A and B are shown apart, each in its own frame.
Chain A
C-alpha cells in the first residue's frame, strides 16, 4: 500500500516533465526552444535587480496657516478617503487618583454625542454615510480616525470635527471636559490624510475646520520615565481548568533611537522574531512539537525602553522543557556568534521587505505623521537599509551581551501550576523549580475574570 503510493510519487518528475513537454508542443504559444530550463533548486534562479527609493517626507508635508502639520497623500484608485489626527496627549497625563481618565475621554468623545447631536443622532448620521469614525487615547498618543467614501467627505469631515472639537455635551464629568479642552487643540495635532482627493482642496478643508479653534499655549508635559523595577524570578498564576501553560519570559528592552536598535532588530529576528527561521520557533515548535506559536519580540520604546519578551504556550507536561529551551537560546546568543546563514537571512529579509512600509498611500501618510510625532530623524528611512547591511555577527553578539540579561529574566507561567510542576515523567531533568534560580515560585492569585478583582490572599 505504502509502496504503491510512494512509487508514483517518486515517478512524478519524469512523468510530469513529459506531460509538460507534450502540452507545450501542442499549445500554439508554446515553442519549445524558448522554454527556459527549470533549475533544480531555487538558488540557481536569476533575478533582475530591483531598485527602490523610499518616498520623501517633504514631498507630502504641508503646514496650515495656524502652524498645524498635515501629511497628504493622494490615491485615486478607489473612491475612499482616510483622515487621521495624531493628538499630543496620552494616558500618561492621567492625574493621580484618576487613572483611566484619558482612555475614558477618548471613548466618550466618540460615543457621547456632540453639542449639536445626541449620541444616537451622531451614530445614525455616521452609519448612514457608511463612515467609520474612531477616537481613542492610548498611552502616549490620541488618534481620531475617519474613513469614508470620497463623495461624502464634506459631511463626514463635519461630523468628525464636530466630535474632535466640540463633543462637550457627551462628556459630563468635569475632569473629562478639562482633559479634552487642554489637549484636543490644533497645536497638538498632526494630520495624516490619504485617498481620493485633490491635495489643494483637502488643505482648504483642513484650514476651514481648524480656523478659530481655541489654541491653548500651555505645553504638553513630556512622557515620564517608568519608575517600577523588575524583580527577576519565576511567577505563577494558577488556572486549574486549562491544559496548557502560557509563558512569557522577558525583561526591559531598549530605546528606539538607540544606535544599537538596528543590531537588536536583527538579533531578535534570529532569536524569535523571524518566524519559522528563527531559533525559538524552530526548536520549540518544529523540532519538538511543544507549541503552536513560539517567538520573541524586542521592544524598542520611543519614550522609555520597551519590553523584551519571548512567549509560547505548551501542554502542561512540556511547559518547563520549553522554558528551558527558550532560556538556552537566550544564553546562546550571548556566548556564541550567530551563523552567517542566519545573519544573512535576517538582514536580507529586512532589506527586501523594506518597501512594504510604504505599500499604500495610507501607510505613507501615517508613517510620516508618526515619524514627526515621535521626532524620528529625517534621514531614518533613506539610511535604514545601509545600516542593516553594515551589521556583523560581532554586532549581534555585542548587543546580545549588552541587552539580554539572563539574570534579570522574569518568567511568568499561567496555567494549571500543579500539573505543570509535575513535569514530564519521561524527562525529569526539566522542572519549574529548577528554572527558578532561587528555587522559589512566586504565586500570583488569579483575578475574577468578570470583575478583575483579586481574591483576598490566603
Chain B
C-alpha cells in the first residue's frame, strides 16, 4: 500500500517533468519545401548548425549499396565555386574521366565474367588485364593527376576551419544522412553560403579515390574488427526482404562499381530541398536566420519528383534462424526478434521493457550475472527504425559457461516478462531514468540540434516534446502484452559466438568454452611451443600424456582432452605437410 502511494507521487512528479520538457522550436518552411528549425539559446557566441537528408541505405537497391554513405563523403569535395582553379576545365576533365571509367567497367566486367566461369581465379589480379585495360588505367591516372592540378585542395574544409568552424562532420545511417558543424555566431551567413552552395552545385571530385577511402573505412570498421564481419552477416540473416539487410557501408562489389552518374541521379531526388530539414541551435537571431534561409536555401529548386517511401517491407518470419560463429571474441549469445518501427505505440513499451532488463539494477544483470553466474554481462533493447524494428538481447558467457546456457537464461527472463506483471516500483525507476535522460539529451546545443534533425527526418521534430509522455504512460500490462506479442520462438534469430584462437587461425573446439581462463592461457602458451616442435617430439608428448591422463583428477579431464586433441591435430598437420 505504502509502496503504491510513493510510486504514485513519483509518477505525478514525472508527469510534471514530462510536461516541463518543452523545447521551444521555431519552424520555418520555405516555398521549396525545405524546413528550418530554430532554437535560440544563451551561452557562448556559437551556433550548432546542421541539416539532414531523409535518405539512407534503406533507400538503396542492390548494385548501389553504400551509395548514401559514399555520397556523404562526396559532399565535402567542393562545388563549382569551391575547390577548383577553373570550373569549366574541371567539368570537362570529369566528363573525360567518367568516359574512361565506363570503358574500364567493360574491361572489369569481362574479368568478372571470366572469374565466374572459372577461367581465372581472381578478377582483380593485374596479370589478367588486357593491354587495353592497362592503357585505360594509365589514361585514368593521368586524368587524375590533371584533376589534382586543377584542384584547390580541401578548400571546403579550409574555409570553415579558418572561420572557426569546429566539429564538422557528417553521418549516414540506415534511415538518414546528417551534416553538421559548430560556427561562431558572427559566421552564420557563411554556413548558409557553404551549405546551400554544396546542395546546389556540388562537384564530386576525387570520386574514385574517395571510393578507396570508403573501402578503407569498411576494412577498419567491418573487416578488421573481431565481430564486424559476423555482425554484418547476422544482420543480413535477420532481415529477409527489408533493405535493412545490407550494410550502410555497402557490399564491397557495389563499392567498387558505383559510378558518378548513379551518385548524381541519387542526388537529384534525395537531396532536393523538399527532402531536407536544417536546424540551428545556439546564439542565433531568428529573424536574421529566416532572412538568410530564404535568400540562400530559397534558391534551391524542388526535386524533379518527390522521394518515395521504401516499398519493400519485411516478410513475417516463420521459423527460428540461427548462426554459429567462431570469432576472436568472448563466447556470447545474441537473440533478436522482429518488432515494430519507431513511433508505433508498442515501440515505447518495448523500449521500457529493454530498460527494465538492462543496467546494473536491471533484471538480466541481477539474474544472469549475480544470481546464476552464467554471464559476465547482459543487456537488451528495442531498436525501432523508420520502417521496421527489432528487439535484441545479448549476454557474454562467464568462463566455464556456454553461449547456449546464456541463451537459455535470456529466454527465462523473457518468460517472466510474459507471465508476470512488473513491479510498480521497478517500472517507476525506469521511467525516472527516461525523465532525467530527456534533459541530459538536450543539454548541449549540438546534441539538441542533431536530435531535432533525426527526429524530423522521420516522425517530425515535435516528437521531442511528445515522446516523453508516451514513455511515462507505459503500464505493467503494456509490458507484459508486448512481451507476449513479439517474443515468440519462430520470430527470433540467434547468433552464437565461440572463441576462435587466432594465433594460428585454428578454430577453437567448443569444448574449450568449458575451461578456466588459466587453462586457456596454458593452452595458448602450449600452442606457441607446439609450433616449434617436430613431429617426433609431439609423438613423445602424446604418449606421455596418455600415460598420465588416467591419474589426473576428474576436473582436469576436460583440459586433458583438449590438449590431447591439440597435439593430435598438430601432428596430423605436420605429417600431412610432408606428403
- A interface residues with partner B (beta carbon < 8 Å): 1-3, 5-6, 9-10, 12-13, 15-17, 19-20, 23-24, 26-27, 29-30, 35-36, 38-43, 45, 47-50, 52, 77-80, 111, 120, 123-124, 127-131, 147-149, 151, 239-244, 246, 274-277, 282, 285-293, 313-315, 341, 344-345, 348-349, 351-353, 355-356, 358-360, 425-426, 445-446, 448-451, 453, 455-458
Contact = CB atoms under 8 A, between A and B. Distances in A.
A214 to B, nearest CB: 29
Interface-centre pick from A52, A341, A426 (highest chain B CB count, 10 A): A52
Contacts of A13: 80, 200-201
What secondary structure prevails in chain B residues at the interface with A? helix
A80 B443 CA distance: 9
A451 B517 contact: yes
B439 A27 contact: no
A171 B505 CA distance: 41
B206 A286 contact: yes
Given A80-B440, A123-B360, A450-B499, A292 B521 contact: no
Given A282-B153, A451-B520, A352 B439 contact: no
Those 6 A-B pairs whose CB atoms lie nearest each other, nearest first:
A352-B164, A289-B212, A455-B528, A130-B436, A289-B209, A276-B157
Contact of B300 (A16, A30, A345, A359): A16
A48 B283 CA distance: 14
B505 A130 contact: no
B464 interface: no
B397 to A, nearest CB: 12
B428 interface: yes
B43 A243 contact: no
A289 B433 CA distance: 44
A215 to B, nearest CB: 33
Given A16-B300, A149-B435, A349 B524 contact: no
Nearest to A80: B439
Contacts of A124: 361, 429
A149 B438 CA distance: 11
Interface-centre pick from A80, A277, A315, A358 (highest chain B CB count, 10 A): A277
Nearest to A241: B502
B388 interface: no
Interface-centre pick from B216, B301, B529 (highest chain A CB count, 10 A): B216
A290 B435 contact: no
B4 interface: no
Given A47-B186, A128-B432, A345-B158, 8 more contacts: A2-B99, A276-B154, A286-B206, A286-B213, A315-B215, A353-B164, A355-B184, A448-B520
A23 B31 contact: yes
Contacts of B226: 449
Nearest to A37: B295
A77 B444 contact: no
B99 to A, nearest CB: 8
Nearest to A8: B268
A5 B521 contact: no
Given A456-B529, A458-B531, A47 B299 contact: no
B433 to A, nearest CB: 4
Contacts of B219: 243-244, 292, 313, 315
Contacts of A446: 502-503
Given A286-B209, A291-B213, A78 B157 contact: no
B261 interface: yes
27 contacts: A38-B296, A80-B436, A124-B361, A130-B432, A130-B435, A149-B435, A239-B502, A241-B328, A244-B223, A276-B76, A276-B161, A277-B157, A282-B154, A287-B209, A289-B211, A315-B219, A345-B158, A348-B163, A352-B162, A352-B163, A355-B184, A359-B44, A359-B444, A448-B520, A449-B328, A450-B517, A456-B528
A344 B161 CA distance: 10
B257 interface: no
A207 B445 CA distance: 33
Contacts of B261: 1-2, 5
B443 A290 contact: no
B328 A50 contact: no
Given A1-B261, A16-B200, A128-B432, A47 B162 contact: no
A50 B45 contact: yes
Interface in B351-372: 359-361, 366, 370
Contacts of B442: 78
A447 B165 CA distance: 42
A27 B31 contact: yes
B330 interface: yes
B158 to A, nearest CB: 5
A425 B13 CA distance: 69
A244 B32 CA distance: 45
A328 to B, nearest CB: 17
Nearest to A40: B81
B527 interface: yes
Interface stretch (B54-62, B187-195, B412-420, B567-575): B187-195
Contacts of A30: 294
A360 B43 contact: yes
Given A287-B148, A345-B162, A20 B299 contact: yes
A350 B466 CA distance: 40
Interface-centre pick from B185, B194, B224 (highest chain A CB count, 10 A): B224
Contacts of B201: 9, 12-13
Contact of A127 (B13, B154, B429): B429
Nearest to A291: B216
Interface string B145-186: 000100001100111011110101000000000000010111
Contacts of B428: 128
Given A275-B157, A277-B161, A151 B209 contact: no
Contacts of B32: 19, 23
Interface string B525-536: 101110110000
Nearest to A5: B264
